[in-house]
Amino acid sequence: MQLVINALDLKEAFLQWNAEMKHPEPVRQEEDYLTAKETAKKLGVDLSTLWRWDRSGYLKKIKVGKSVKYRGSDIRKLMEE
């Protein structure tokens, strides 16, 4: 197998690699969790709506022990739509 690359492609690849090294991807932040009541209030919906959304897969809940939580990142995605 032979790989042929011209000087312009090599330069472009190097420049892209160099830019990525100067500006690495941001470090992932710690996830925040909200209770069902906090989530309902933030989204302006009833608790029964959260239950339906969980059943349909639209907004999945997380069980932490006996309590129900929702990921802050999932809530922000819904608010952006």
Helices and strands (H, E) in the chain, number of each type: 4, 3
pLDDT one-digit tens code per residue, 1-52:
888 889 998 899 889 888 888 876 666 678 899 999 999 999 999 999 999 9
C-alpha to C-alpha distance for 77 and 41, rounded to whole angstroms: 16
Question: Interhelix angle for 36-43 vs 47-56, to 10°?
Answer: 100
Amino acid 20: pLDDT = 83
Residues 42 and 48: beta-carbon distance below 8 Å: no
Amino acid 70: pLDDT = 96
State pTM to two decimals: 0.62
